[in-house]
Amino acid sequence: MPRLALFDAAEDAHDQVVVIDAAGSYTYADLLDHSRRVATALLDGSDDLSERRIAFLVTPGFDYVAVQWGIWQAGGVAVPLGLKHPRPELAYTIDDADVSAVVVEPELKDRVAAITTSKSLPLLATDDFPERAVNERLPAIEAFRRAMILYTSGSTGKPKGVVTTHANIQAQIDALVEAWEWQRTDKILHVLPMHHIHGIINVLGCAMRVAATCEFLPTFEPVRVWERFAVGDLTLFMAVPTIYVKLIAAFENASSQLQTRWSNGAGKMRLMVSGSAALPIPTLEKWEAITGNRLLERYGMTEIGMGLSNPLHGERRAGHVGAPLPSVEARRTNEAGEIVDDAAPGEIEIRGPSVFQEYWNRPEATAKSFRDGWFRTGDIAVVDDGAYRILGRSSVDIIKTGGYKVSALEIEDVLRTHSAIRDCAVVGIEDAEWGERVALCAVCDEAESIALDELRDWAKERLASYKVPTLLHVCDELPRNAMSKVQKPRVRELFQ
Length of the chain as a residue count:
496
Average pLDDT of the chain is: 92
Strands 101-104 and 53-57: parallel
Burial per residue of 61-89, b for 16 or more beta-carbon CB atoms within 10 angstroms, e otherwise: bbbbbbbbbbbbbbbbbbbbbbbebeeee
Mean pLDDT of 20-34: 95
pLDDT at 352: 97
Strands 296-301 and 370-371: unpaired
Q: Is the dihedral of CA 223, 443, 493, 413 positive or negative?
A: negative
Q: What is the 3-state secondary structure (H, E, C) of the chain?
A: CCCCHHHHHHHCCCCCEEEEECCEEEEHHHHHHHHHHHHHHHHCCCCCCCCCEEEEECCCCHHHHHHHHHHHHCCCEEEECCCCCCHHHHHHHHHHCCCCEEEECHHHHHHHHHHHHHCCCCEEEHHHHHHCCCCCCCCCCCCCCEEEEEECCCCCCCCCEEEEEHHHHHHHHHHHHHHHCCCCCCEEEECCCCCCHHHHHHHHHHHHHCCCEEEECCCCCHHHHHHHHHHCCCCEEEECHHHHHHHHHHHHCCCHHHHHHHHHHHCCCCEEEECCCCCCHHHHHHHHHHHCCCCEEEEEECCCEEEEECCCCCCCCCCCCEEECCCCEEEEECCCCCECCCCCCEEEEEECCCCCCEECCCHHHHHHCEECCEEEEEEEEEEECCEEEEEEECCCCEEEECCEEEEHHHHHHHHCCCCCEEEEEEEEEEECCCEEEEEEEEEECCCCCCCHHHHHHHHCCCCCHHHCCCEEEECCCCCECCCCCECHHHHHHCCC
Mean pLDDT of 151-171: 84
The whole-angstrom separation of Cα 489 and Cα 494 is: 9
In 3D, which of 247, 212, 245 has the Cα closest to residue 228?
247
CB 205 within 8 A of CB 85: no
pLDDT tens string 205-244:
999 999 999 999 988 999 999 999 999 999 999 998 889 9
pLDDT tens string 32-74:
999 999 999 999 999 999 999 999 999 999 999 999 999 999 9
| Candidate CATH numbers 3.30.1370.100, 2.60.15.10, 2.130.10.30, 3.30.300.30; the one for domain 398-493 | 3.30.300.30
pLDDT at 3: 62
CB atoms within 10 A of CB 436: 16
The whole-angstrom separation of Cα 303 and Cα 489 is: 21
pLDDT tens string 458-496:
999 888 888 999 999 999 999 987 777 888 889 999 998
pLDDT at 154: 55
pLDDT tens string 72-113:
999 999 999 999 888 888 999 999 999 999 999 999 999 999
Where exactly are the structural domains of the chain? 398-493
pLDDT at 207: 96
Residue 1 has pLDDT above 60, yes or no: no
The whole-angstrom separation of Cα 390 and Cα 383 is: 9
Residue 4 has pLDDT above 50, yes or no: yes
Residue 157 has pLDDT above 70, yes or no: no
The whole-angstrom separation of Cα 260 and Cα 254 is: 10
Mean pLDDT of 181-187: 97
The whole-angstrom separation of Cα 301 and Cα 316 is: 20
Task: Look at 445 and 419; give whichever has higher pLDDT.
Answer: 419
Percent of the chain at pLDDT > 90 equals 75
pLDDT tens string 391-414:
887 777 888 887 777 888 889 988
The reported pTM is 0.86
